[in-house]
Amino acid sequence: SFGPAVTTFSRPEPVPNPNDFVLWSFFNAMFCNPFCLGFIALVFSVKVRDKKIAQDPAGAKTFGKTAKHLNIAALSLGILSYILLIVLLVV
C-alpha cells in the first residue's frame, strides 16, 4: 500500500519583460520621421519582440534601449521641424 503521490512543481524564474515601444515607434514612423529615425526605431522594436520570443532578455533590453533612444530623437526632431515649419509659414 503506497501513500499519496507527492508531486513537486518548481516555477521558472520570472523573465524580465523589457519594453518594446512598438506603438511609439509606429507613431514616429508615420508622423515624426526625420532622417528615417522613426522607421529605424520600429525595426529595433520588432527586434525586441523577436528577442523576447527567443527567450533572450539581455538582447531584448539592449534593442529596447536603442529603440527608446531613437524614438526620443525622432520625436524631438519631428516636433522641432513642425515648429520651424509653422514659424516659417507665419513669417
Whether the pTM exceeds 0.85: the reply is: no
Task: State the maximum Cα–Cα separation within the chain, in Å, rounded to a whole number.
Answer: 95
- Percent of the chain beyond pLDDT 70? 90
pLDDT digits (tens, 9 = 90+) for 69-84: 999 999 999 999 999 9
Which DSSP string do the residues of 16-71 spell out, in sequence order? P-----HHHHHHHHHH--GGGHHHHHHHHHHHHHHHHHTT-HHHHHHHHHHHHHHH
pLDDT digits (tens, 9 = 90+) for 1-13: 566 777 777 776 6
